[in-house]
Structure formats: structure tokens, C-alpha cells
Amino acid sequence: MAAKVDTGAGTMAKRDHSVPETIATLEGQPLGPNRGMPLNLDWVRAVRVNTSAVERRAQTLVTRRTVKKDWQAAWLLRAISCMDLTTLSGDDTEERVRRLCAKARRPIRQDLVQRLGIAELNLTVAAVCVYHTFVETAVRALEGSGIHVAAVSTGFPAGLSPLAERVAEIRRSVEAGAHEIDIVITRAHVFSGNWQALYDEIAAFRQACGAAHMKAILGAGDLLTLRNVGRASVVAMMAGADFIKTSTGKEPTNATLPVGLVMTRAIRHYAQETGMAVGFKPAGGIRTAKQSLEWLSLIKEELGPSWLRAELFRFGASGMLGDIERQLEHQATGNYSADFRHPLA
């Protein structure tokens, strides 16, 4: 464990939180939003990961008996409420985005809503995630719904365009109405151990986001080791990230439970040391309802019930929604339906 640290905000990461608020609790300790802090290299360098122990712990999440019947339905509804419904394809169109936004407003078929008796929940997904080009389209389509618009930015997915261009891209997306910005870190800073450069980059992105929430995508599948994932997580949180996110969804390996375990424990340690809560978003490769239950179990056990809501936990997984809807239909009718009865867009 790292020693207690100064939690005053660093110059680039500083934001105005003049009235502290409690957004979560951990072991009875109230936690405020992440304001960032000066880079603590001793803390970063002290990060160690026992890979075999992490893999054994992650395996327990997939071998145990899962929740059933009404409990399972309730967990699946929670998964939907924490979902960033996403379209990030080279052939995206405004019409596809509008149709995705319609699905975001009504993620479950209306007949199933009635059968399940959940009309009063007014269930929606948490956000719709698109490229900058489609931010205004999504904002118009979601007006009045309370659903956020998230924009991938900073040269997504590689994150290798010049820094000034990446910062300008964030500002354009915020001006267009994006409530959340998913930024991509420069993975080379992690490989070279240049933590100051990584911190400065993320803090600059955080400042450009203004009032918009920032999710820092680590590209965990590219980082080679779990220790690199842990260290990058700590630096991103110190630089002021509101969320840390596993992947772009474009890497050969995306969200895995061992990576999630390392990142959630980094979040827990950061909360214990600073009194500030950071959200978590696994993304990429999460396609089934069963996987959503595994991730929800991980969050509940590692961070507690405070994190099981959209303010602090998101799924970056559009393909999973169809399978969740099939499972809910089975709960309501006793029968599984074909995938084509649950289209995303």
C-alpha cells in the first residue's frame, strides 16, 4: 500500500468542486468526485500485480453458480441501465445513430416491459457513444430523455494524432453537446515509463473536457502486462479521470476479468487513500447476458453497491443488449426467441 498522499489538485487537473459532494461510499467512508492530485511517482512505481493470484480470483467469477429467475432479471435490468449503447463503425450514418438512439430510449420491447411489470422504471440505457461527427445527431435524437451522449475523442482508437489536435477535438465535441468524452491515452508513455508525460497528457484532456465527464481508455490489450495496466490506472486517476476504461474495442484483446480486477482494485486503493471515487467501464468483447452478470459480481464484490449504478459503472457493449433482451423474454414467457426479434438498430 502507498503512504497517505497530498490530495490537492495538480495545476492541469484542477476543477472547480467548491461544494464537496458524496457520490459513493466504501467501507463506510463517504467519497467525493475525483478532483485529481499531483503525480505521485512513488505510488506509481510501487504498484505490483501477482498475475497468477489475479487470474485465480477472476476465475471464481465464472465458475460459481449465477443468480436465477427474478434475481437474474433484476441484475440484467441493472446491466441495461449501466450500458453505453455504442456504434463506432467506419460505415456509420446519421440514420443508424438515430435508430440506435431510439433503441436507447426503449432498450426492451414494449410487450416485454408489460409482461415483466416494469413500466414504472422508465428504463433506458445510460448513454449513447458515437464519433464526434454524430454528436449533434445523437443530442437531437435524445433530447428530453436524460440519456447522455458520449463522444470518443483524441484520435480514437490509436490516440497518435498531435496533442493540440486531440485537445481541440475534445473541445469541439463538448461544444457540440457531448456530456461525456472517452479519451485514448498514448500507450507509448506506459511502455517507456514516462509517467509525467502520461499524467500531463491526461490532465490536459481533463481540462479540455470542462464540465463533461472524462473516461480514460487505457487500451489494456496493448499494455502487455497487468502491472502496466495497474500503473496506467493510477496515473489516469491522479490526472483527474472520472472513469477508467479497459479498451477501445479495437484491440486484439479487450475487456477481460483479470484486467477488470486490477483496475477495480486500483480504484479501491485510490478511494481509500484520497477519499475520491472513480468510475469503471469495461468495453470490448462483452457480448452475453452471462458476462454482464460476471462483471456486475466483480464490481459488487470489489467496490461495493455504491458502484452498481450508471454514475460509476458502465458497459461499453452494444452487442450484449440483444442477448439480455432474449434472457428477459425467457423470464417473461418461458421461451427463448430468435436473435432477429431483438434488433439493436
Predicted pLDDT at 244: 98
Predicted pLDDT at 80: 97
> pLDDT tens, 88-98?
999 999 999 99
What one-letter code names the amino acid at 35?
R
Provide the residue count of the chain.
345
Exactly one of 182, 200, 242, 323 is catalytic; name it: 182
| Strands (E) located in the chain | 24-26, 29-33, 84-86, 127-131, 148-152, 180-184, 213-217, 243-245, 276-277, 279-281
**Is residue 189's pLDDT more than 70?**
yes
Exactly one of 200, 215, 245, 323 is catalytic; name it: 245
DSSP three-state, residue 38: coil
Domain boundaries, the chain: 24-341
Q: What is the mean pLDDT of residues 56-73?
A: 86
> What value does the mean pLDDT of the chain take?
91
pLDDT classification of 2: cutoffs 50, 70, 90: very low
Assessment of whether the complete model's pTM goes beyond 0.85: yes
Going by C-alpha positions, the residue among 211, 219, 223 that lies closest to residue 181 is 211
Q: Which CATH class is domain 24-341?
A: alpha beta
Predicted pLDDT at 12: 38
User: 252 with 48: CB under 8 angstroms?
Assistant: no
Strand order in the sheet with 148-152: 84-86, 127-131, 148-152, 180-184, 213-217, 243-245, 279-281
User: Omega of the bond prior to 343 within 30 degrees of 0, cis?
Assistant: no
Predicted pLDDT at 264: 98
Q: What is the mean pLDDT of residues 56-79?
A: 89
Predicted pLDDT at 139: 98
Q: Which of 20-24, 117-121, 282-286, 337-341 has the lowest mean pLDDT?
A: 337-341
Predicted pLDDT at 31: 97
Predicted pLDDT at 20: 56
Higher per-residue pLDDT: 37 or 2:
37
> pLDDT tens, 125-181?
999 999 999 999 999 999 999 999 999 999 999 999 999 999 999 999 999 999 999
Predicted pLDDT at 326: 93
What one-letter code names the amino acid at 127?
A
Going by C-alpha positions, the residue among 319, 344, 341, 343 that lies closest to residue 332 is 341
Q: What is the mean pLDDT of residues 319-339?
A: 88
Q: What is the mean pLDDT of residues 295-304?
A: 96
DSSP 190-221: HHTT-HHHHHHHHHHHHHHHTTSEEEEE--GG
CA–CA dist 95, 73 (Å, integer): 31
User: 294 with 257: CB under 8 angstroms?
Assistant: yes
> pLDDT tens, 196-240?
999 999 999 999 999 999 999 999 999 999 999 999 999 999 999
Predicted pLDDT at 344: 65
Exactly one of 103, 215, 242, 281 is catalytic; name it: 281
CA 196 to chain centre: 24
pLDDT classification of 63: cutoffs 50, 70, 90: confident
pLDDT classification of 16: cutoffs 50, 70, 90: very low
Q: Decide if 281 is catalytic.
A: yes
Going by C-alpha positions, the residue among 5, 144, 134, 73 that lies closest to residue 292 is 73
**Is residue 249's pLDDT more than 50?**
yes
Beta bridge partners of 33: 277
